Amino acid sequence: MSRILVTGAAGFLGSHLCEALLEDGHEVIGMDNGVSGRNQNLDGFIYHDDFSFVDHDVTEFIHISGELDAVFHLASLASPVFYRDYQIKTLKVGALGTHKTLGLAKEKDATYLFTSTSEVYGDPEVNPQPEDYRGNVDCYGPRSCYDESKRYGEALVRAYRDEHDMDVRVARIFNTYGPRMRLDDGRVIPNFVKQALTGQDLTVYGDGEQTRSFCYVDDMIDGLLALYESGVDEPVNIGNPDERTINELAEVIVELTESSSGITNEPLPPHDPEVRRPDISKARSEIGWEPTVGLQDGLKRSIEYFQEEMENAE
């Protein structure tokens, strides 16, 4: 049994990670300040004997009493809706938040896991993207607050590893979806599902031929835990290499929701990546992980969740 701190615990991924760690018999301290996380995400385990919650902003000094075996730094504003509204806060979480959590892990001699993102590859000129691809990122672009917060975070993790001989992990997460995503998240799957369930046209930006690779949340959590348990201290892509066009995704969601929705095209936002697909060779060979949930199955589970959310909101 390990004692583990999870930042961003009330968020989409953070809450699933807390739950999985508790099921594995660990003691979990969840930390969140509620900017984008929701208390309802904690409902299933908030009263668990081995769970405690701390309402705290990770950009401020962090004090945790007692020993810690690991720090999982998931706190971040990952949705474009949020990081465009909170650009400075997003940068501070990636810089100051990573610095504070690394300092805590150093003090406690704890393993440190940083959740980075496929956004470090920017609008890639290589497809699929392997970990040694350096990316095509505009550091002054409209998405830069998020991209650069994660790129800087990775550099900081590397520096702490090299200077302080810390045990670190870096997960480059690709588009993840599933229950506990917010309906107002702004990313494509909750947008499409909400529109399909309400009979609105699905909003497709550009011609819809841009691609993404969607990883179901259960697979993502399994990947993060496999990375944590490995000895790999360099970045590892965690994602599903099943690459789909946005048009394909729209068709699948309309079919699964039995919706009469059509498609409305709007201009593509600037610097929106044309392709996105992880090369997971490293994940397969070095941490023994690959996704198992197909897009249809994952979407069915997600649609059920979103449908219930919408009914509860009425």
Q: Hey, how many other C-beta atoms are within 10 angstroms of the C-beta on 113?
A: 25
Helices and strands (DSSP H and E) totals, the chain: 10, 13
Helix axes of 144-164 and 98-108: crossing angle, nearest 10 degrees: 20
Q: 115, 173 in Cβ contact below 8 A?
A: yes
d(CA 242, CA 213): 5
Which of helix, strand or coil describes residue 274? coil
Which of helix, strand or coil describes residue 30? strand
d(CA 178, CA 191): 13
Strands 176-177 and 215-216: parallel
Q: Supply the residues annotated as catalytic.
A: 146
User: What is the phi/psi pair of residue 79, to 5°?
Assistant: -85, 135
Scan for tokens 């996704």, then name that residue: 291
Q: How far is CA 251 from CA 8, 207, 221, in A?
A: 33, 14, 27
Residue 87, CA atoms < 13 Å, CB-side half-sphere: 8
